[in-house]
Amino acid sequence: MSKSMKRVLAALEMHGIVPDIHEVGQARTAQEAADAVGCHLDQIAKSILFAAADDPHRLVLFLTAGGNLVDGDKAGTISGTVLQRADAQAVRQVTGFAIGGVAPLGHLTPPVAYFDPRLLEFDVVWAAAGTPRHVFPIAPKTLLELTGAQEGHFV
């Protein structure tokens, strides 16, 4: 088991959640992950990271429904920061995760986070478990609480 997945498991267990990790193979898209677990595309909780333009190591996390795209301008407005695409190396250094496997929790340095209200329309959502091949189910309200994210409209 990877160090990244161990951090996600520990974060879930710390909050009394028994992790239920599923392997989805090489799911390169949210649709492939949804197909692998048999859920609606928007039940995939994507973890999208942007970097502050003035400090590429200050990351901002946007948790969004699988079918949604984060609008960079809206994301910048809601975060009060000019944002740019996060560099893969900075993502790895700051979060401890590789792009494609960024979990919503278990980060080395927890980022400021924002939460897409679309996710709250479901009983269960699926999030990356620290690798590009593993996901876990969680109630969206629980995910919102565990991440300390703020609800916002950024899509």
pTM over 0.85: yes
Q: Number of structural domains, the chain?
A: 1
The alpha carbon of 37 is separated from its chain's Cα centroid by a whole number of angstroms, namely 17
User: Measured between alpha carbons, how far is 134 from 54 in angstroms, rounded to an integer?
Assistant: 33
Average pLDDT, the chain: 96
pLDDT digits (tens, 9 = 90+) for 41-80: 999 999 999 999 999 999 999 999 999 999 999 999 999 9
In the chain, the percentage of residues whose pLDDT exceeds 70 is: 100
CATH number at residue 100: 3.90.960.10
Does 128 have pLDDT greater than 90?
yes
pLDDT digits (tens, 9 = 90+) for 72-103: 999 999 999 999 999 999 999 999 999 989 99
Nearest Cα neighbor of 114 from 60, 53, 72 is: 60
Q: Which domain holds residue 26?
A: 3-151
Q: How confident is the model at residue 105 (pLDDT cuts 50, 70, 90)?
A: very high
pLDDT digits (tens, 9 = 90+) for 26-42: 888 999 999 999 999 99
pLDDT value for 143: 98
Encode 120-138 in three state secondary structure.
HHCCCEEEECCCCCEEEEE
Cβ atoms of residues 114 and 143 within 8 Å: no
The alpha carbon of 155 is separated from its chain's Cα centroid by a whole number of angstroms, namely 15
